[in-house]
Amino acid sequence: IVTDGTGDLKNGPVEVYSVLGRTSQLKGAEAYDFLGFSVSVPSSSPQLEYRGYVNFDQEERTAIAVYNPDKTHSVELELVLYGADGKQVATSPLGLNGGQQAAVFLDDPNLFGDSINGDFRGTVAITSEVIPVAVLSLIMDRATGALVVVSLE
pLDDT in tens, 48-87: 999 999 999 999 999 998 999 999 999 999 999 999 999 9
Q: Would strands 120-128 and 60-67 be described as parallel, antiparallel, or unpaired?
A: unpaired
* The predicted structure's pLDDT at residue 48: 95
The whole-model pTM stands at 0.78
Average pLDDT over residues 11-38: 61
Local confidence band at 118 (pLDDT 50, 70, 90 cut-offs)? confident
CA–CA separation, 63 vs 128, rounded Å? 18
What is the reported pLDDT for 98? Answer: 95
CB-facing half-sphere around the CA of 48: CA atoms within 13 A:
3
CB distance 30 to 14 below 8 Å:
yes
Dist CA 123 CA 67 (whole Å): 20
Q: Give Cβ neighbours of residue 108 (< 8 Å, ≥ 6 apart).
A: none
Q: What is the DSSP letter of 118?
A: S
Report which of 43, 67, 79 is spatially closest to residue 132, judged by C-alpha positions.
67
% residues pLDDT > 90 (the chain): 50
